[in-house]
Amino acid sequence: MKAWFLALAALFLPALAFAQDVEFYVFEPSRAVSTLGIIYTIAMIALFLYVGWISKKRVTSSDDYFAAGRSYGGVSNGLAMSSNYMSLATFLGFTALLWRMQYYVVALVMSFVAGFVLIGIVLAPALRRWGKFTSMQFIGERFGTTAKIVAVLCMIFLAQLYLIGQMKGVGNVFQVMFHLDYTAGLIIGGLVVTAYVTIGGMYGLSYNQTLQAIIMLIALYVPAVIILWQFGAGPASLFPPFGYGSLVPQMLEAMPSYFDPFLTVDGTVPMSLKFYVGVFFSIACGTMGLPHIAMRYFTAPSIRNAKMSTLWGTFFIGLVFFTTFAIGFAAKLYSVEVIEGQQGLQIRPSEADLLIVVMSQAFTPGWIAALPVAGALAAGMSTIGGLLMTIGTGLGSDIYSTIKPNAPDQSRVKMGYIFTALGGLATIGLALNPPDFLLESVIWAFVVGASTFTPVLILGIWWKGANRYGAISGLAIGGILSGVLWFNKGVLFGIPLIQAGPVGHLVTGIFTMSAAWFAVVVVSLLTGGEKDEKILREIDRIHGWRNYDPKRYSSNTFALATAALALFLMVWSAMPDPAHAKKEPTPAAVVPVPVEEAVEAAPEVTEEAAEAVEEATEATIEAAEDAAEAAAEAAEAAAEAAMEAVEEATETTETDPGQQ
């Protein structure tokens, strides 16, 4: 361990020698691009296209195109899993969320990592033993053709939600990098990733995702070490999660409210328990339902290899998420510190998506500061590639084989090419009008995954009583409820299931997943459960049993208990939350408005003030004119009265001269 520590120190010493001092920093968007960043990006794109092209030579069957010949495992598959999971939102949207939500993001980090662990324990071994290409194929063989078709429809909805956010991010990177408009950047970036995935299939995707994971780790880890070192974390900076811990005392002094788990940024709407339960249901359970994550297990050559891939994938995912959190934490600390009489980091809230780029430019030399842009692009492309492969497999293999069960193997490969390409083109079209918030559509995709695939996969593997009617009901109810809540902004039949905050819609996952779970159990029991002995024997086999026991995994009591819990969670999630009611801020809860928000709002305030002054001036002039007119009239009346008095006096004198 000591040798590894010294090696890391020696690696980063040259970069640390050129690191920047901590001083106040004003970000300008024009600085987000450098010549080195453009060079890194072009070289990376050329590499991805080349890997996709040479991988085409290895594609000779549907197993090769859809599952990389079931020969990709170990550390390489773990890297591919991690890059498949860690999207562009990890690099950009995640730090922006941390900027706004502060300590609450800890729950998100833990749920992202926990979701991957749950996949490895609950789903991965059984799915790999089943031996198909996708989770939709498992659902089809376990519950029938109708269930498979419904599952594919849910997959397309989920994948498009996920893809729109990723395509938007890739389009934004190309837009900023090459000074294009958003549409041109989106089309170029989208066509690049669609091309190498379509050409190389799962082989090309796997090799590229491994390369993309390495690029992501370097692009994130190297700047993080230097940034944390500059903030005084010392040798702990060499492992960013430890470096974050070294900065905690500074944050406690600069912003004590940061670590309050039930306080939002505005200090008026406290976080409630529902937020944290919602995070688990939507993120951890949603991860289990993401079909492009499950696909990676079908590429492993064995069960043991799939488990090792999960271990490595969890390690790399945890490292990236906690490193990202450390950088975001340092950025928040930087923004609340006062340096030379000014706020440390001056950046507009609308530019918070570029926090990693900003921090790298503020504290690292140029050749390192250019890395995060390349890393973000690699992250977006890896996830887009995995989702496009899922669409191509779902339509080109699952649906096509249902329509033409006797079609030759090469026909399925051809359909895979076609549907993967069409999926990419369709996503580019939909991303022309993307959501404002990068993470919004991505997090809704997690909600859909938790509400559709997760209950059906878990119950289909661990409970023999689940049957096709229950699975179809669960998929349909979960998919419809998630779609309605997405279109209605979290409101269902007039009941707001959403809460305040950028990720308040995570709470909806409690209701939708519980409803789907309840439907699978109750409908299966009402329709008599699973009767096909072949399927029941197969369930024992995928758990590693060599003998068949009809009582194994057949407890209806346990299933009813989980259904009762699901019903309780549905009712609880729909109940009004007292903590969500608007309250007057207390002095202890008020958080000062950040300087950057005040600066951003200043032009509007100045314009309003100018309008008010102009109105007041006009009113004053009008009042003065009215007063002058009144005074003139009064003077004229007084003059007339005086003249009349003089005339009367003169007349009196003439008629009575003795009085003189």
pLDDT digits (tens, 9 = 90+) for 566-580: 999 998 888 876 555
Is residue 186 domain-shared with residue 198, that is, in the same domain?
yes
Phi-psi region of 501 (alpha: psi -120 to 50; beta: other; left: phi over 0): left
| The predicted structure's pLDDT at residue 565 | 95
We report the CATH number of the domain holding residue 227 as 1.20.1730.10
Is residue 643 domain-shared with residue 572, that is, in the same domain?
no
Higher per-residue confidence, 73 vs 385: 385
State yes or no: pLDDT of 92 exceeds 50: yes
Higher per-residue confidence, 129 vs 640: 129
| The predicted structure's pLDDT at residue 626 | 56
Q: Which of 282-291, 310-319, 452-461, 628-637 has the lowest mean pLDDT?
A: 628-637
Q: Give the integer Cα–Cα distance in Å for 343 and 346.
A: 7
Burial of 128 (0-12, 13-18, 19+ CB in 10 A): buried
State the pairing for strand pair 345-346/342-343.
unpaired
Q: Give 3-state DSSP helix, strand, coil % of the chain, rounded to 5.
A: 80, 0, 20
pLDDT digits (tens, 9 = 90+) for 32-60: 556 777 888 888 889 988 998 888 888 88
Considering the domain boundaries, does residue 153 fall inside one?
yes
| The predicted structure's pLDDT at residue 270 | 59
| The predicted structure's pLDDT at residue 502 | 53
Which positions ≥6 away from 364 have C-beta within 8 Å?
15, 18, 19, 20, 222, 223, 226, 227
Domain termination residue (choose one: 547, 569, 592): 592
Is residue 433 domain-shared with residue 547, that is, in the same domain?
yes
Percent of the chain with pLDDT over 90: 19
Higher per-residue confidence, 200 vs 565: 565
Considering the domain boundaries, does residue 603 fall inside one?
yes
Considering the domain boundaries, does residue 8 fall inside one?
no
Neighbours of 645 (CB within 10 A): 10
| The predicted structure's pLDDT at residue 416 | 85
Q: Give the integer Cα–Cα distance in Å for 241 and 139.
A: 39
State yes or no: pLDDT of 508 exceeds 90: no
Inter-axis angle of helices 93-101 and 303-336, nearest 10: 50
Is residue 340 domain-shared with residue 355, that is, in the same domain?
yes
State yes or no: pLDDT of 610 exceeds 50: no
| The predicted structure's pLDDT at residue 204 | 87
Are 197 and 389 within 8 A, CB to CB? Answer: yes
Domain termination residue (choose one: 592, 609, 635): 592
| The predicted structure's pLDDT at residue 25 | 42
CA dihedral 521, 522, 526, 527 (to 10 degrees): -40
Higher per-residue confidence, 298 vs 458: 458
Considering the domain boundaries, does residue 207 fall inside one?
yes
Please state, rounded to an integer, the average pLDDT across all residues of the chain: 77
Higher per-residue confidence, 480 vs 620: 480
- The top-scoring range by mean pLDDT among 94-98, 191-195, 254-258, 504-508 is 191-195
- SS3 state at 339: strand
Are 277 and 79 within 8 A, CB to CB? Answer: no
Considering the domain boundaries, does residue 86 fall inside one?
yes
| The predicted structure's pLDDT at residue 534 | 92
Sign of the Cα torsion 150, 153, 155, 157 reads negative
State yes or no: pLDDT of 263 exceeds 70: no
Q: Give the integer Cα–Cα distance in Å for 349 and 273.
A: 27
Q: Which stretch of DSSP H or E encloses residue 138?
A: helix 135-143
Is residue 545 domain-shared with residue 619, that is, in the same domain?
no
Sign of the Cα torsion 111, 446, 538, 477 reads positive
Domain termination residue (choose one: 576, 592, 608): 592
| The predicted structure's pLDDT at residue 351 | 62
pLDDT digits (tens, 9 = 90+) for 267-316: 445 567 777 888 888 888 999 998 888 888 888 888 888 888 888 988 99
Are 95 and 352 within 8 A, CB to CB? Answer: yes
| The predicted structure's pLDDT at residue 45 | 87
Is residue 572 domain-shared with residue 600, that is, in the same domain?
no
Domain total of the chain: 2
| The predicted structure's pLDDT at residue 252 | 79
| The predicted structure's pLDDT at residue 105 | 77
Is residue 467 domain-shared with residue 602, that is, in the same domain?
no
State yes or no: pLDDT of 590 exceeds 90: no
State yes or no: pLDDT of 221 exceeds 80: yes
Give Cα separations from 190 to 92, 380, 384, 444, 452 (angstroms). 18, 10, 9, 21, 27
Is residue 271 domain-shared with residue 126, that is, in the same domain?
yes
Amino acid identity of residue 505, one-letter, is H
Is residue 644 domain-shared with residue 539, that is, in the same domain?
no
State yes or no: pLDDT of 347 exceeds 70: no
Is residue 530 domain-shared with residue 612, that is, in the same domain?
no
- Got the DSSP string for 54-95? HHGGG--SHHHHHHGGG---HHHHHHHHHHHHS-HHHHTHHH
| The predicted structure's pLDDT at residue 427 | 87
| The predicted structure's pLDDT at residue 645 | 45
Considering the domain boundaries, does residue 386 fall inside one?
yes
State yes or no: pLDDT of 559 exceeds 90: yes
Largest Cα separation within the chain, whole Å, is: 150
Q: What angle do CA 48, 435, 316 make, to 5 degrees?
A: 45
Which positions ≥6 away from 618 have C-beta within 8 Å?
none
Q: What angle do CA 350, 354, 358 make, to 5 degrees?
A: 115
- Residue 561 banded pLDDT, cuts 50, 70, 90: very high
SS (H, E, C) 510-557: HHHHHHHHHHHHHHHHHCCCCCCHHHHHHHHHHCCCCCCCCCCCCCHH
| The predicted structure's pLDDT at residue 94 | 74
- SS3 state at 345: strand
Q: Give the integer Cα–Cα distance in Å for 27 and 468.
A: 56
Considering the domain boundaries, does residue 104 fall inside one?
yes
Are 217 and 316 within 8 A, CB to CB? Answer: yes
Q: Give the integer Cα–Cα distance in Å for 544 and 553.
A: 13
State yes or no: pLDDT of 436 exceeds 50: yes
Considering the domain boundaries, does residue 4 fall inside one?
no
| The predicted structure's pLDDT at residue 568 | 94
Tokens representing 52 are 């996709």
| The predicted structure's pLDDT at residue 130 | 84
- According to DSSP, residue 265 is labeled T
Is residue 239 domain-shared with residue 353, that is, in the same domain?
yes
- SS3 state at 97: helix
Is residue 361 domain-shared with residue 264, that is, in the same domain?
yes
Domain coverage including residue 315? 23-592
Nearest to 356 by CA among 263, 478, 219, 229: 219
User: pTM of the predicted model, to two decimals?
Assistant: 0.77
Higher per-residue confidence, 613 vs 353: 353
Q: Which of 137-141, 300-304, 466-470 has the lowest mean pLDDT?
A: 300-304
Q: Give the integer Cα–Cα distance in Å for 482 and 453.
A: 12
Give the count of alpha carbons within 13 A of 168, CB side only. Answer: 23
- SS3 state at 495: strand
State yes or no: pLDDT of 633 exceeds 60: no
